[in-house]
Chain A
């Protein structure tokens, strides 16, 4: 009897709390469902994230611009050598392409001018060209002595160590030649201080030594005959391709040795002599 009265009293007193507790329980279940169900959570978060992304997109330069600039600056400063090595072949090709196009335009203008000019020798050359089916420019070039690659040396900067070489003759010890060429380059750099400049050619009677400088190594091409701009142009193309290939191997392949380098140089030299 007493128990019944007590339960009735409890019902009267705790009815409201029980209702609130049940309601709270149901809300917790809903929240639990929303938090643990990925699809539900995604639905809820999506508008917030979209807002944040839009905000970041709009304010990215203000929020992170300074940090990004500092980070890029540091990266560039700390890896200058790698950057120069990586950019050299790409920049070289771009510049060459531009110059070649400009030269072609110039050449076309000169050709036009020449056509207007009346001269006996000019007519003779032109007649020979017409009958032979070749252009006047080619006719003139054919009269010149072809340039030929005699030797190529690929030498490490500073140390002067020979990385690889190619020669159609039996010359002196190539490692000593590489050392001496490096010493000559060093001498010129130290003797004539005109800022950061490099020795690019050495002429020796019928021979011309053409030097292409890269950050980690330099290439010396010994050529005989008439080394004209067309030849140098072809040479530049081949050397840029060669540098690109060698740089990749030189920096990435630890076991890339003098023999492999030498066979690569031979391949490119034959390409050059074949095209000249």
Chain B
């Protein structure tokens, strides 16, 4: 089995649930307490994709209102990115297109998965109404709290990185 390591970065505004997503994915845990990330935290998870054993070195970067405020050196050398927004806070995805565009300027070939987190906070009817009004169709919806789609998101990025 071939062993490969890849650097993954999580981007998005503060409080969108980047750390919670990683905690859910790596440790299968969720905590209601909010503790803001300072600087960077590194985590690792090994997954199997076909005949490849992939070590995902996950960089949990402190949230900023725009990724341009994040030191560029944290992003350099990344093999994949997950851009997380909060379904309940439109301000976290209002400028998503320009954010992705400026990210692509630095790393044109970077696979990026767009994720709308905290779907557990929406009542079913509310959710369908919200999705109609907001440009959330391009996102994969997930909940770090319930674990819904978290594995799927990291798996999808893993496949894209190995392509």
Contact = CB atoms under 8 A, between A and B. Distances in A.
B73 A189 contact: yes
A187 B74 CA distance: 8
B44 A183 contact: no
B77 A180 contact: no
Interface residues of A, number: 19
Given A159-B7, A159-B78, A161-B5, A176 B73 contact: no
B13 to A, nearest CB: 20
B119 interface: no
Contacts of A138: none
A224 interface: no
A161 B5 CA distance: 7
B74 A186 contact: yes
A159 B40 CA distance: 13
Given A158-B76, A159-B79, A180 B71 contact: no
Contacts, number: 56
Given A175-B5, A176-B42, A157 B57 contact: no
Interface residues of B, number: 20
B43 interface: yes
The interface centre, meaning the residue of A157, A173, A183 with most chain B CB atoms within 10 A of its CB, is A183
A187 B77 contact: no
A156 interface: yes
B23 to A, nearest CB: 15
Contacts of A258: 3
B57 A183 contact: no
A258 B3 CA distance: 9
A179 B42 contact: yes
A162 interface: yes
A160 B73 contact: no
Interface in A179-193: 179-180, 183, 185-187, 189-190
B57 A161 contact: yes
15 contacts: A160-B7, A160-B59, A160-B77, A161-B6, A161-B57, A175-B5, A175-B57, A176-B44, A179-B44, A183-B39, A183-B42, A183-B59, A186-B71, A187-B71, A258-B3
Interface of B: 3, 5-7, 39-40, 42-44, 55, 57, 59, 71-74, 76-79
